[in-house]
Chains A and B, each alone.
Chain A
Amino acid sequence: MPAIRSTIAGATSLPGSATAAAREARRINPALNAFLQIFEPGESRPGPLSGVPIAIKDNICIGPDLSVPGDGRGYAGRTTAASRMLEHYESPYTATAVQRLLDAGAAIIGKTNLDEFAMGSSTEHSAFGPTRNPWDLSRVPGGSSGGSAAAVAAGIVPVALGSDTGGSIRQPAGLCGVVGVKPTYGRVSRYGLIAFASSLDQIGIFANCIDDAATVLSIISGPDPMDATSADRLVPDWTSTAPINGLRIGVPRQTRSSANHPGVAAAFEEALRVCGSFGAEIVDIDLPLTDHGIAAYYIVAAAEASSNLARFDGVRYGRRAETRPGEVLADLYARSRSEGFGTEVKRRIMLGTHVLSSGYYDAYYATALQARRRILADFTSAFNDQGCHCIAMPASPGPAFRLGEKTDDPLSMYLEDVYTVGVNLAGLPALVQPMGFVAPPSLAGRADASAGLGGGPLPVGLQLIAQAFDESTLFRAARMYERATDWHLHTPPPV
């Protein structure tokens, strides 16, 4: 069991780290279900990440490297998106972000669990069972990248890749007490990421410290001819540790909301006090559409999902249902999709179909896109008119909730994302880092404690948001906070 948090420096200094990580993953996985597959690491290439064990969210493709003839890495596993639809799918190609990790020497030790097609905020919508939070096994790790968050929090790997469409990296990072980075839209190639909502999706990183997140982001960032939306922008050196003089942090009035769990509210105010203690100036700002952002997000994301997931038809790859005599192609589509998709995915496809359907398009989709413009303008105003370097808010309104607590009420699950979706709609970079712990919300935890199911403190996360392509400011500000606190050094109880 790890006594300290796993880091890249620790992994590169110890020969056999990747093999040890795979062994640890096998030992812990029956309790956590963080991994859908665990690989036996092979030889690593020399490079900045040589031998560093990394886990990959299972909606990111890994295949035999066909672009490099003779580069036989053997069986590359399946890419399932935690869906019955892709249960046996073996990708014929590798995502650019993963290829860049492999080229830097990383050892991919496994594929991590997620909400099916990344649709969810708890990892309970996986077709292969929920992931559990290492801090309290009766609670969710958040989602959709819950497997990656749990794998890093449990000390199995120092770094994992996730994807963030509406908070799917930041919310689980907060609930598991690790660092999570959602880069600017276009910063990291989406080639090989199974599409959920293409105008919002972005690959990002989980790590145990800001330095590791910055190091790995610099490796996977940059333009890619295979993704026309990847930005043709220079990737700056994010390892600079220089503090920001006169750091100005905007705090939206709307996030000091009574809807926050009191422990989250207290931890957030304390985090702002700490920022003040190292010289940051805290200024009030307004993001008036914070609540409406949820509505705009779920319209835009569902609309794009209904279109993106139309490709799963049982014909070219993925699950194919049996048809009855006399049935036609449309029956094959409908049967395959009905068998292959889980309930939440079907809900979102149908919601997307509804908002795009004739007679509803203007009322929903066009209106949501107008709200999206307004949300971007509000962020821009905080940076340009009020001179904020970054904006701070909690990662989510509460700590990790219990398994099953929100599965019957999709709307309450969607409200988990109130502080994260605006960032995706506006395409901005954001980072979450540990900002303390709160007591579990209910007394029931006490009974669980004796059963080994936690009941102890639960981590919560501080979110920082910066202007597009200004990850430098995020990392520098986050390092200032990290240096002033020791929340990132705490480890969950041994599993």
Chain B
Amino acid sequence: MNSPLTDEHIRRIAALSHLRISDAEVSHYRDKLGAIVEYVNRLTELDLRGVEPLVHIGDAVNRLRDDAPGPVLATEVLMRMAPVAAPPYVVVPKVIGDGSSA
């Protein structure tokens, strides 16, 4: 199957998406995403010159509220949700590596 996407591009967008995919999955996503990309390319058939992009529907305007404290979730509640925590902190692995891993 001819895909408009290369294996290298699939690996790149997987990395940007913080997803790890195996070599077998690369060809899966290349073909399935390729077919979808091919389909959505039909948008280029439309003459949309001068049309303002519509980012958001509705007439909502920026809404301000009084700077007054309201009900909030307690720290203990949030800490209980964290898979690994040392309250009041969540625990993560080293943030900066030696540059060798993704």
Task: Name A's B-contacting residues (CB within 8 A).
Answer: 66-67, 89-90, 92-93, 185-186, 199, 225, 228-229, 231, 289, 291-292, 294-296, 298-299, 306, 310, 313-320, 323, 326-335, 337-338, 341, 346-347, 349-351, 353-355, 357, 363-364, 366-374, 376, 410-411, 414, 426-427, 468
Assembly CA distance A70 to B43 (angstroms): 55
Assembly CA distance A468 to B58 (angstroms): 9
Tell me the residues in window 34-79 of chain B with beta carbons closer than 8 Å to chain A beta carbons: 35-37, 39-46, 48, 51-60, 62-63, 65, 71, 73, 77-78
Inter-subunit contact B54/A376 (CB<8 Å): yes
- Count of A-B contacts judged by CB separation below 8 Å: 180
Least Cβ–Cβ distance between A124 and chain B, in angstroms: 15
Assuming A368-B43, A369-B54, A373-B54, is B97 touching A350 (CB within 8 A)? no
Interface flags for B4-22 (1: CB within 8 Å of A; 0: not) read 0100011001101111110
Q: Which of B37, B41, B93 contacts A354 (CB 8 A)?
A: B37
- Find chain B residues with CB under 8 A from A350 CB: 10, 13-14, 17, 19, 29, 33
Interface flags for B75-102 (1: CB within 8 Å of A; 0: not) read 0011001111000001011111100011
Assembly CA distance A328 to B9 (angstroms): 24
Least Cβ–Cβ distance between A292 and chain B, in angstroms: 6
Inter-subunit contact A367/B71 (CB<8 Å): no
Inter-subunit contact A410/B102 (CB<8 Å): no
Inter-subunit contact B95/A329 (CB<8 Å): yes
Task: Name B's A-contacting residues (CB within 8 A).
Answer: 5, 9-10, 13-14, 16-21, 29, 32-33, 35-37, 39-46, 48, 51-60, 62-63, 65, 71, 73, 77-78, 81-84, 90, 92-97, 101-102
Inter-subunit contact B102/A334 (CB<8 Å): yes
Assembly CA distance A332 to B29 (angstroms): 22
| A-B residue pairs in contact (CB < 8 Å), sample of 19 | A67-B71, A89-B81, A185-B57, A199-B56, A231-B60, A292-B42, A315-B90, A329-B92, A331-B101, A334-B19, A350-B29, A351-B36, A351-B37, A354-B9, A354-B37, A368-B40, A370-B51, A370-B54, A371-B43
- Find chain B residues with CB under 8 A from A347 CB: 29, 32-33, 36
Inter-subunit contact B92/A373 (CB<8 Å): no
Assembly CA distance A372 to B58 (angstroms): 13
Q: Which of B51, B58, B82 contacts A315 (CB 8 A)?
A: B82
Inter-subunit contact A411/B35 (CB<8 Å): yes
Considering the complex of A and B, which 10 residue pairs feature the smallest CB-CB distances, nearest first?
A427-B57, A369-B53, A320-B83, A328-B97, A373-B54, A370-B48, A317-B81, A295-B40, A370-B51, A338-B20
Least Cβ–Cβ distance between A380 and chain B, in angstroms: 12
- Find chain B residues with CB under 8 A from A228 CB: 60, 62-63
Inter-subunit contact A411/B36 (CB<8 Å): yes
- Chain B interface helix/strand/loop/mixed: loop
Assuming A347-B33, A354-B33, A410-B32, is B71 touching A316 (CB within 8 A)? no
Inter-subunit contact B58/A231 (CB<8 Å): yes
Least Cβ–Cβ distance between A290 and chain B, in angstroms: 12
Least Cβ–Cβ distance between A87 and chain B, in angstroms: 12
- Find chain B residues with CB under 8 A from A372 CB: 53-54
Inter-subunit contact B55/A357 (CB<8 Å): no
Assembly CA distance A367 to B45 (angstroms): 11
Further pairs besides A199-B56, A225-B65, A295-B41: 4, Cβ < 8 Å: A298-B36, A315-B92, A331-B97, A351-B36
Least Cβ–Cβ distance between A108 and chain B, in angstroms: 21
Most A C-beta atoms less than 10 A away, residue of B19, B54, B97: B54
Q: Which of A229, A294, A318, A346 contacts B60 (CB 8 A)?
A: A229
Assuming A292-B43, A295-B39, A316-B90, is B73 touching A376 (CB within 8 A)? no
- Find chain A residues with CB under 8 A from B17 CB: 306, 337, 346, 349-350, 353
Assembly CA distance A234 to B47 (angstroms): 39
Assembly CA distance A332 to B18 (angstroms): 9
Assuming A296-B43, A376-B54, A411-B35, is B60 touching A186 (CB within 8 A)? yes
Inter-subunit contact B83/A314 (CB<8 Å): yes
- Find chain B residues with CB under 8 A from A335 CB: 20
Closest to B73 in A: A92
Assembly CA distance A426 to B94 (angstroms): 45
- Find chain A residues with CB under 8 A from B90 CB: 315-316
Inter-subunit contact A370/B52 (CB<8 Å): yes
Assuming A330-B101, A350-B17, is B43 touching A295 (CB within 8 A)? yes
Inter-subunit contact B93/A374 (CB<8 Å): no
